[in-house]
Amino acid sequence: MNLLTRFFACLIAIPAVHADVYHVATTGSDAQGDGSNERPWAGIQKALDECAPGDSVLVHAGTYSQRVEWNVSGSAEKGVITLMGEDGTILSGKGVKGSQLIRVENQSHLRIENLQLVDNSSPKESAAIILEGSGSHITISKCRIARCKGKNAVAIGVYGTDTKTPYSDIVIDGNTITDCEPAPSEALALNGNVTKFAVTNNTILRVNNIGIDFIGGEKDIVNDSAAVARDGVCKGNRVSYARSRYGGGYAAGIYVDGGRDIVIEENVVTGCDLGIEIGAENPKIITSGITVRHNIIYQNDKAGLALGGYDAERGKVQDCRIVSNQFYQNTLHKKAQAELWIQHASNNVIRENSFWVEKGKPMAQIYAAGKNNTVDANTWFSEDGPDAVTYNWSGQNGRGFSAWQGVSGWSSSGHFAKWTFVPPSEEPSP
């Protein structure tokens, strides 16, 4: 079985044991209730603290101005602990002191499902759901997170801060994140010592920085250059209008910053500063083993694909594969870079992709530090025509597809021909 299939098979293979279901309702009472459907508790925290492995907390529809600290783990033998909401269950940060709506530290075998987490704001770093430390077998699914406001208002963050023990077997599936303010952080981030993960089928819309990020090399998270986000899958997500208001505006819809051995496939990214970026911001960190395939990247502002560390003092990108993707009109901004933008990167393969270059914009910008990369068997098109399309090679502007093939040495880089782009359905509003 492939990696993603194994993740979901593990979730299904939960042992059948006796378990309790505790109820929480807006009409409940922690003092007089017993957690039954007839006599529910009022506090989500109260219900979780009563749980043993295999138990569940069902939060009935309504609005709860509460914050939750998850203090107990499930187990492989007796099952996960589940926190789930009925349709219409809202966990709100309005009027509640604290910075995180749900915080999990050093716990395992748990599930968070079908909750709305809204209106969280804090003068400190704010978040809807945070996992920190280490743990395993955790699922966050079918949650809707909206209006997390303030600096570093992360929607979902997994921070592997334990050098010896990673977060592992993490599934983040089918969630919706809208109108959040994660800058200068990210809307959905896996950072540090995190391995064996699946980030699948999520929708991220209108956030003020990066949409999805897989990170390594940040010493304040974990001071170990090998303990990076790794061995995971990012599949079937849709990221729209992830744009940064600082640093010139270079937020990617999907970003790998120091991660390793990750498959990014069948995602849709549109309306962002950058489509997909494979980079390495931290010194001496090498991003490697990233496979980007079968994605649709269209009508982003400054580049469809950005590859490499952005200066010589940062990390590098090597041994990655970018294959069979569609990149369509990703240079809509007046300060656009190019459809293909390679910086400090080497020994990468870019092949069998389709690039449609916006009229009057560069097809490629390749730094001198982008060495020993293989670019072949791609299809290129621009309404400018093959003789008028422009590029930048090692700081020198040039014109013409054949000229670019010659100066780059990529004579087999593909051919210039019109191809058919079909926009994905259900385009979100900006």
CATH of the domain at 134: 2.160.20.10
Please give the average per-residue pLDDT across 371-381, as a whole number: 93
Residue 421 falls within a domain, yes or no? no
Distance CA 55, CA 136 (A): 17
Most confident of 45-59, 309-323, 367-381: 45-59
Sign of CA dihedral 237, 240, 244, 248: positive
Residue 229 falls within a domain, yes or no? yes
Residue 15 has pLDDT above 90, yes or no: no
Distance CA 141, CA 1 (A): 22
Residue 120 has pLDDT above 80, yes or no: yes
225: amino acid identity, one letter: S
Better-scored residue on pLDDT, 424 or 15: 424
Report pLDDT for 232: 98
Distance CA 52, CA 335 (A): 56
Residue 407 falls within a domain, yes or no? yes
Mean pLDDT of all residues belonging to the chain: 93
Residue 367 falls within a domain, yes or no? yes
Better-scored residue on pLDDT, 430 or 38: 38
Residue 27 falls within a domain, yes or no? no
Report pLDDT for 12: 46
Q: What is the pTM of this model?
A: 0.94
Residue 189 falls within a domain, yes or no? yes
The whole domain housing 397 covers 97-416
Report pLDDT for 102: 97
Residue 374 has pLDDT above 80, yes or no: yes
377 SS3 class: coil
**Residue 411 CB contacts under 8 Å (≥ 6 apart), including other chains:** 405
Residue 46 has pLDDT above 90, yes or no: yes
CA angle 331, 332, 336 (to 5 degrees): 50
Q: What is the pLDDT of residues 320-345, one digit of tens each?
A: 999 999 999 999 999 999 999 999 99
Residue 247 falls within a domain, yes or no? yes
Q: What percent of the chain has pLDDT over 90?
A: 82
Say how many domains are in the chain. 1
Range with lowest mean pLDDT among 166-175, 237-246, 420-429: 420-429
Residue 277 falls within a domain, yes or no? yes
Q: What is the pLDDT of residues 60-85, one digit of tens each?
A: 999 999 999 999 999 999 999 999 99
Distance CA 293, CA 84 (A): 34
Please give the average per-residue pLDDT across 239-250, as a whole number: 93
Kind of pairing between the strands at 349-351 and 321-323 = parallel
Residue 17 has pLDDT above 60, yes or no: no
Residue 111 has pLDDT above 70, yes or no: yes
Distance CA 304, CA 301 (A): 8
Please give the average per-residue pLDDT across 142-171, as a whole number: 95
> Would you place residue 423 in the very low, low, confident or very high pLDDT band (cuts 50, 70, 90)?
confident
Residue 1 has pLDDT above 60, yes or no: no
Residue 426 has pLDDT above 90, yes or no: no
